[in-house]
Chains A and B, each alone.
Chain A
């Protein structure tokens, strides 16, 4: 069921209990987790944090802890499956699910006792009405069903009116009702999408309890920005939520506005900005950032000679000396930086890039450190999906989580370095895929498969990195192709996952269009294709449109997918 009063129906209940926090591996989840941890810390709540990267880990974690805990908080996982079915919990176990995955499983919505959804009830939830999908079994029907099941006879039986016509009528009605139910559920479950950021939901809770701090607000901002960077929500939703957060930002940060001098080293200030959409540019050179931001690189078509030429023309148009553009942003002439945003925007308009600026927030720690929200998202993602093994699986998670605390600047900087590597790798891979025509049209969708041995291929065995790559590739492909039909197709992308086990990771993303509703049908399609071909697949990711499968089964799986979607 949906929790309407987060404080009374969630926080007050768990504050005196031992709580198990199960947190998915995405930045929004980490941010929500940070907010909740801060609340727990101030109320001395006993909790244990367990990172879970997929369904298998979630199940294992639950089994391992179910004897010690009765209260489970799930962050960015669990809403879109029937939790009671997969976890088989005891009756006195409670799940508080804060998850942006949609659609929410109907049993989770209508279970009043064990499942509590900490979810903002956005307009697009569209949960089917209770009576359309649940119905009390009629006893007579149940009897016959039970008997064919081989279950025990009932202890008591009521005698109903036994008119034959009535029974057949009832049965027909029932069949019709069931057909309708299937249709409703199909429509409801067909597309996967995302609702309000979990970090924002958690921030709301803190705010309602008057326990919100500026740090928490920043995490909420990063959570939302993660959704935007990962392309999980529509532009409309992003702008609306930015507006909501902006009100909190001005509430929290108004005092220092006129007194710049009062800033001390450990003081933090959040500011709304209409900033450049250039990845990490304040920690890079402007040139590198232009080259490795998907929006600019796709618009210029930087993989081609003409593209490179256009970039030079663009820089010349702005009147920025190449030497300045290529050195560290921090060291650029102050005079050049002053009107930089306006200058770049003006030139960008001439080059057909109308959306180079975007509403976002930045944070200052004292005088020296300034980060934009997307910087943090890139850095944290890279830390989380770092492929250089350093200790057990959870190390990356903990590191990423730590990098979100402002005391851990070294970790954040390490993350920024990794993020730059990642963005370069993505850009190079995109360029090589386009130049060697690796993106092929399969009819109903585009397909691109990375070969074992491609540079940086290991990076893309991780889900978030692979998704980012797919989105950048599709954007670039749409700019490069002349085929109008291809511009409207979704993309399926595969990368080697575990060479020893012979598995690939595959992701499907919706078409790249201006008005995209960001709804993804590949989750269901993958499921069906796997079923019909008996492919050995694993739907282990909380994102249903990511699947793992045996390399040998790939071609029959793809054939089925094509047939299904044609």
Chain B
């Protein structure tokens, strides 16, 4: 992880504010990846299997298509295509290019590598410039789009063939279906990763792309067209290490803000994803986005209850609150917290998890920000997740509670305890995940520190014992993880070595040569847990 990224993780915030050395996001991100990879691995397996099984002839699906299309191209071999493309006859070149495009757009096993090996890419790139024959521009653009949609190596073949500037020129084509195809191709190239994304930007793609949307009313554009442009723009914002150049982002942002007010759900979803990419970075990157004033609209979309839009907008909001207290405040002031009751109890675990993660970064903030969390009634929801969320969400909620207890005022911590955090929090001590156990023990220490200040330690001990927490903490003393062992024994020694403690309070304290009795005075207005 680069230092740049680290600056944003909640742990880094904690480091700054409270000098605590924990790395929360590292493990969070890791779990996500593992899951995704597993699913992917399974799918890859299936595909491999499929390849083994299917010794079907290549044209299993094609006859039907070809008959309906151009009768001339019953089924072209790659050799025939090469011959056609290299002929001097424009009509033949067009037919060959179309045949190649058809091969490349069939569902199963498009022969991308064969086409590349046949050296067809430079020819197709050349055809992109044939303004005299727009059909061949279109067919070659489509063919190249599909080649670029493959592996990184396949995308590289397209870029090496000089396609980027050719496609950028095509953006200005008077034929919308051709400029749309160029948009799509550039999206595939930029989607390959940071390097090609920056190359596309360097060739000057942004301005002509944005020009395509320079109409008074976005609704006048065909919806498919607008979706393609939005998607390509989002790919220009995507990927880190490095993030896209800041000037490029500043150039794109006004258009994104405009798209964020459009009414097509797919456009909105992709725009929100773009914003989530842009906010996934250092504080100054977040600042650039926040400055455009789009947060209130983002919050509105957060409450739209359409999962495809909600997911990325929550991601973006969550990213923004990893920033400075002021940036977090903007999110709060835009009314985001009022959406969280429904997010924290959402039926999708993933939403719950992201929402809890967002909360954990807000409770890591200032005390007045913690107070806003309380005022919006969100504490019971967090406790609800601790009680019966899925484990990933629980982990995030634990973080939220621990951050809260380490930064909150005594009053705020008392409220948290009164709201019933102890039992579900302590129940999670039985988790197999030692990291989580450690964070919980941290929260427990923090709560004890607060209790000490108001002389309620014994009461707290009793409460912990009553909900079975003491047994759990005691059991942790035989934990294999040394940190867990240390943390749990410290708590036990400090607060639960019952006899000694009573002794200290009741039994005469022998100082020097006189005995003094220390009697605890319960001031009437002490906090009652």
> What is the chain B residue whose CB lies nearest that of A161?
B105
- Taking the closest CB of chain B, its distance from the CB of A165, in whole angstroms, is 9
- Taking the closest CB of chain B, its distance from the CB of A111, in whole angstroms, is 6
> Do B269 and A156 have beta carbons less than 8 Å apart?
no
Complexed CA–CA distance, A463 and B72 (Å)? 71
> Do B307 and A157 have beta carbons less than 8 Å apart?
no
- Taking the closest CB of chain B, its distance from the CB of A140, in whole angstroms, is 9
Task: Find chain B residues with CB under 8 A from A150 CB.
Answer: 307-308, 310-312, 348, 350-351
Task: Find chain B residues with CB under 8 A from A349 CB.
Answer: none
Which residue of B38, B41, B43, B149 is within 8 Å of A157 (Cβ)? B149
> Do A110 and B188 have beta carbons less than 8 Å apart?
no
Cβ-based interface call for B29 (8 A): no
Which residue of A63, A84, A154, A159 is within 8 Å of B42 (Cβ)? A84
Cβ-based interface call for A155 (8 A): yes
Task: Find chain B residues with CB under 8 A from A160 CB.
Answer: 105-107
- Taking the closest CB of chain A, its distance from the CB of B114, in whole angstroms, is 16
> What is the chain A residue whose CB lies nearest that of B351?
A150
Cβ-based interface call for A153 (8 A): yes
Centre residue among B107, B187, B269, B312 by max chain A CB count within 10 A: B107
- Taking the closest CB of chain B, its distance from the CB of A85, in whole angstroms, is 9
Cβ-based interface call for B49 (8 A): yes
> Do A153 and B231 have beta carbons less than 8 Å apart?
yes
Q: Looking at chain A's contact residues, is the secondary structure mostly helix, strand, loop, or mixed? A: loop
Within 8 A of A (CB), among B15-47: 34-35, 37-38, 41-43, 45-47
Cβ-based interface call for B296 (8 A): no
Complexed CA–CA distance, A313 and B149 (Å)? 87
Cβ-based interface call for A500 (8 A): no
- Taking the closest CB of chain B, its distance from the CB of A159, in whole angstroms, is 6
> Do B145 and A112 have beta carbons less than 8 Å apart?
no
Complexed CA–CA distance, A135 and B310 (Å)? 30
Task: Find chain B residues with CB under 8 A from A60 CB.
Answer: 432
Task: Find chain B residues with CB under 8 A from A186 CB.
Answer: none
Which residue of B37, B47, B145, B234 is within 8 Å of A136 (Cβ)? B47
Cβ-based interface call for A152 (8 A): yes
Complexed CA–CA distance, A88 and B31 (Å)? 10
Complexed CA–CA distance, A130 and B145 (Å)? 32
- Taking the closest CB of chain A, its distance from the CB of B306, in whole angstroms, is 9
Cβ-based interface call for B155 (8 A): yes
A123-167 interface bits toward B, Cβ cutoff 8 Å, 1 = contact, 0 = none? 000000011001011100000000111111111111111010010
Which residue of A112, A137, A148, A154 is within 8 Å of B308 (Cβ)? A148
Task: Find chain A residues with CB under 8 A from B107 CB.
Answer: 138, 160
> Do A130 and B53 have beta carbons less than 8 Å apart?
yes
Cβ-based interface call for A393 (8 A): no
Interface range, B side: 35 or more
Task: Find chain A residues with CB under 8 A from B184 CB.
Answer: 157, 159
Complexed CA–CA distance, A152 and B34 (Å)? 16
Q: A156-B148, A158-B149 in contact; A131/B53 too (CB < 8 A)?
A: yes
Q: A157-B188, A160-B107 in contact; A91/B348 too (CB < 8 A)?
A: no
Cβ-based interface call for B291 (8 A): no
> Do B432 and A153 have beta carbons less than 8 Å apart?
no
> Do B235 and A155 have beta carbons less than 8 Å apart?
yes
Complexed CA–CA distance, A131 and B68 (Å)? 28
- Taking the closest CB of chain A, its distance from the CB of B355, in whole angstroms, is 13
Centre residue among B49, B104, B307, B312 by max chain A CB count within 10 A: B49
Complexed CA–CA distance, A208 and B356 (Å)? 55
> Do A111 and B45 have beta carbons less than 8 Å apart?
yes
Cβ-based interface call for B146 (8 A): yes
Which residue of B41, B42, B308 is within 8 Å of A147 (Cβ)? B308
Cβ-based interface call for B353 (8 A): no
Q: A90-B34, A156-B191 in contact; A161/B49 too (CB < 8 A)?
A: no
> Do B146 and A159 have beta carbons less than 8 Å apart?
yes
> Do B155 and A156 have beta carbons less than 8 Å apart?
yes
- Taking the closest CB of chain B, its distance from the CB of A42, in whole angstroms, is 31
Q: A153-B270, A157-B184, A160-B107 in contact; A88/B46 too (CB < 8 A)?
A: no
Task: Find chain B residues with CB under 8 A from A155 CB.
Answer: 191-192, 235, 238
B98-130 interface bits toward A, Cβ cutoff 8 Å, 1 = contact, 0 = none? 000010111100100000000000000000000
Q: A64-B432, A110-B46, A136-B47 in contact; A151/B38 too (CB < 8 A)?
A: no
> Do A91 and B188 have beta carbons less than 8 Å apart?
no
Centre residue among A84, A130, A136, A137 by max chain B CB count within 10 A: A136
> Do B37 and A91 have beta carbons less than 8 Å apart?
yes
- Can you pick out 24 interface pairs between chain A and chain B where the beta carbons lie within 8 Å of each other? A84-B42, A88-B35, A110-B45, A110-B49, A111-B45, A112-B45, A112-B49, A130-B50, A134-B49, A137-B43, A148-B307, A150-B308, A150-B311, A151-B311, A153-B231, A153-B234, A155-B192, A155-B238, A156-B188, A157-B149, A157-B231, A159-B105, A159-B149, A161-B102
In addition to A147-B266, A159-B145, 11 A-B residue pairs with Cβ atoms within 8 Å of each other are A84-B38, A88-B35, A91-B38, A138-B107, A148-B308, A149-B307, A150-B312, A158-B146, A159-B142, A159-B184, A161-B106
Nearest 7 A/B pairs, CB to CB: A150-B311, A155-B191, A158-B149, A150-B307, A63-B432, A156-B149, A156-B188
